[in-house]
Amino acid sequence: MSCKTGSRVAMRPLSEEALEMIARRFALLGEPMRLRLLHALFDGEKSVTALVEASGGTQANVSRHLQAMAEAGLLGRRKQGLQVFYSIADPTLFQLCELVCGSLEEKLARDAKAFARAG
Amino acid sequence: MSCKTGSRVAMRPLSEEALEMIARRFALLGEPMRLRLLHALFDGEKSVTALVEASGGTQANVSRHLQAMAEAGLLGRRKQGLQVFYSIADPTLFQLCELVCGSLEEKLARDAKAFARAG
DNA sequence: GCACTATATTACCTTTTGCTTATATAGTTT
DNA sequence: AAACTATATAAGCAAAAGGTAATATAGTGC
């Protein structure tokens, strides 16, 4: 079960359940609209209405995505009067996005270089 | 375009294209079978046949998944005679899996604790 | 060239998923 | 209670994605 504690994920036999949990988490990050919402939340909690405006999505769709991420523990939910405020609940989200973003940048730079060489 | 260089992804206006690239990368990690293949590759490059055995998938399916990940730059491909060897090409994959795995562990621990308190 | 092996590709089916429209719920204000 | 606002939920649809079976390609050895 344990795969943190400084040791390599590589070495551990991952159970089918663990694999599905990990996959589900990655899959949640695998849609542009949800990334847009997360990105909008990176500078602090926001109401659903604010997120609808920030993302350009419909109210129903945004609400659904927010709920899905909240259920997975990615987002926190705070109800205040009529409004519901969502916020980043899992700090690893920042690191995950940094990692992927950085990796993509490097790849793009490499590709551009290769293109220049080839041309 | 730049979102690495030590600075927060949070602050940058991400273009629609960038968002889709990031989403695509996460989505690739969002399927158990692909995670199984990656996990099998964590201890070094393997032939397609070896990966078919390790993952329990069919040859056609495994081949497709491997190609998808290779095209995205996650995997490297080396052809040697009849065999094709795939390997981890993006070292951030290790860190990504560590991060998610660790985060899930913490969440599970918290949930278990809350359950104990509730019961 | 022919048989054989390893990998890739195609066609097809099924399930999943994201989106939209319409409606319901919950909370506020008067 | 009635009108209003913010959010959630439901039903239905269209597109995407994963899986399988069958076939094609490419490399090897006889």
Q: Which residues of A touch B23 (CB under 8 A)?
A: 29-32, 34-35
User: For the residues A4-10, what does the mean pLDDT come to?
Assistant: 54
Q: Quick one: what percent of chain A has pLDDT higher than 70?
A: 90
Q: What pLDDT does A11 receive? A: 65
Question: What pLDDT, on the 0 to 100 scale, is given for residue B14?
Answer: 84
At A9 the pLDDT is: 66
Task: Give me the pLDDT at residue B9, please.
Answer: 67
- Separation of alpha carbons A10 and B76, rounded Å: 17
Give the nucleotide at minimum CA-to-C1' distance from A85.
D7
pLDDT at B1: 44
| B2 in contact with A, Cβ within 8 Å | yes
Q: Which nucleotides of C are covered by protein (CB under 7 A)?
A: 5-10, 17-23, 26-28
| pLDDT at residue A16 is higher than 70 | yes
Residues of A in contact with B11 (CB under 8 A): 42-43
The CA distance from B80 to B75, in Å, is 16
Integer angstrom CA distances of residue A35 from A31, A51, A98, B51, B115: 6, 12, 13, 32, 31
CA distance A99 to B100: 12
pLDDT at A116: 85
User: Mean pLDDT, to the nearest integer, of A11-40?
Assistant: 94
Mean pLDDT taken over chain A: 91
Residue holding tokens 């940048």? A105
Is this structure's pTM higher than 0.85? yes
Low-confidence ranges of chain B (pLDDT < 70): 1-11
Q: How many CB atoms lie within 10 A of CB A35?
A: 22
Per-residue confidence (pLDDT) for residue A8, from 0 to 100:
58
- Residues with Cβ within 8 Å of residue B54, at least 6 apart in sequence: B36, B37, B40, B46
Average pLDDT of A93-113? Answer: 93
Provide the pLDDT for residue A1.
Answer: 45
Structure confidence at residue B2 (pLDDT)? 44
Q: What is the pLDDT of residues A55-100, one digit of tens each?
A: 999 999 999 999 999 999 999 999 999 999 999 999 999 999 999 9
